[in-house]
Amino acid sequence: MMNYAADDGPPAITIRGLRVARGAQTVLDDFDLDVRRGSLTGLLGPSGSGKSTLMRAIVGVQRTAGGTVEVLGRPAGDRELRDRVGYVTQAPSVYADLTARQNLRYYARVLGAPISDVDRAIEQVDLESHADHLVGRMSGGQRSRVSLATALLGEPEVLVLDEPTVGLDPVLRVQLWELFHRLAADGVTLLVSSHVMDEAERCERLVLLRDGALLADDTLPALLARTGAADAEGAFLELIEKADSEVSS
């Protein structure tokens, strides 16, 4: 299933035999994945399929029950990765009673990032006109862009973004995907989760999850060729049907 090419150098993220239980439920079981350095990988799957859990394991905030997760050659969550890995959760993790700029200055100090990163990050997420507005008075989409900007401070090598485009209008979504592509072209490794299948078409590689299992890990053209589907959504449905028929036969 893995399509990691031997000449790409060591992967940015290597997962082997990962097992995660949440409550009484096994969310990920014997899960393997490699994510190539400098790639833009889309993590797709129905609600509850384990996308956020996998991302939490990659950034080292998820208790695991087995297996290994390595990021940039270090165990996930290692101190040394603190300013090399950026993570944006679904819930914006910024202070409502500070402005966007004040939030970013605060996070820059915590991370030890240069203060000049603040203006760069504001510009990257297209928030110049709202930089001095209180986050508590911003729209959901503006707040999530402030959150995303915090992850861009310090120029991390790996970005793990949990549904960063939720609540954004189509123009902003396109702009953010352009930003993700630029970052990947500069060598940043991005893992971006999404519910939205048309966003899949913007990723260089797609990881499809279902019930905590890896349904596919491939490029969109390869998935379309394999399934005969016209788009990512059709390919995903085809793969689900195939997996179901294999289980029932």
Could you tell me if 199 and 173 are in contact, meaning their C-beta atoms sit under 8 angstroms apart?
yes
Q: Does residue 22 interact with ligand ATP by CB under 6 A? A: yes
List the interface residues with ligand ATP, window 168-207 (CB under 6 A). 195
Beta carbon of residue 22, minimum distance to ligand ATP (angstroms, whole number): 3
Could you tell me if 215 and 244 are in contact, meaning their C-beta atoms sit under 8 angstroms apart?
no
Smaller CB separation from ligand ATP, 54 or 235: 54
Could you tell me if 196 and 231 are in contact, meaning their C-beta atoms sit under 8 angstroms apart?
no
User: Where does this chain touch ligand ATP (CB under 6 A) — which range of 42-50, 77-85, 100-108, 200-208?
Assistant: 42-50
Q: What is the DSSP string of 151-198?
A: HHTT--SEEEEESTTTT--HHHHHHHHHHHHHHHHTT-EEEEEES-HH
Smaller CB separation from ligand ATP, 100 or 215: 215
Smaller CB separation from ligand ATP, 42 or 154: 42
**Residue 124 neighbours by CB distance under 10 Å:** 18
Q: Give the E-state strand segments of 56-114 in sequence order.
A: 66-71, 74-75, 85-88
Smaller CB separation from ligand ATP, 101 or 173: 173
Q: Does residue 51 interact with ligand ATP by CB under 6 A? A: yes
Beta carbon of residue 112, minimum distance to ligand ATP (angstroms, whole number): 30
Q: Does residue 52 interact with ligand ATP by CB under 6 A? A: yes
Q: What angle is formed at CA 239 by the lines to CA 43 and CA 39, rounded to 5 degrees?
A: 30
Smaller CB separation from ligand ATP, 88 or 100: 88
Beta carbon of residue 125, minimum distance to ligand ATP (angstroms, whole number): 22
- The torsion region of residue 34 among left (phi > 0), alpha (psi -120 to 50) and beta comes to beta
List interacting residues with ligand ATP (CB under 6 A).
22-23, 25, 27, 45, 47-53, 195
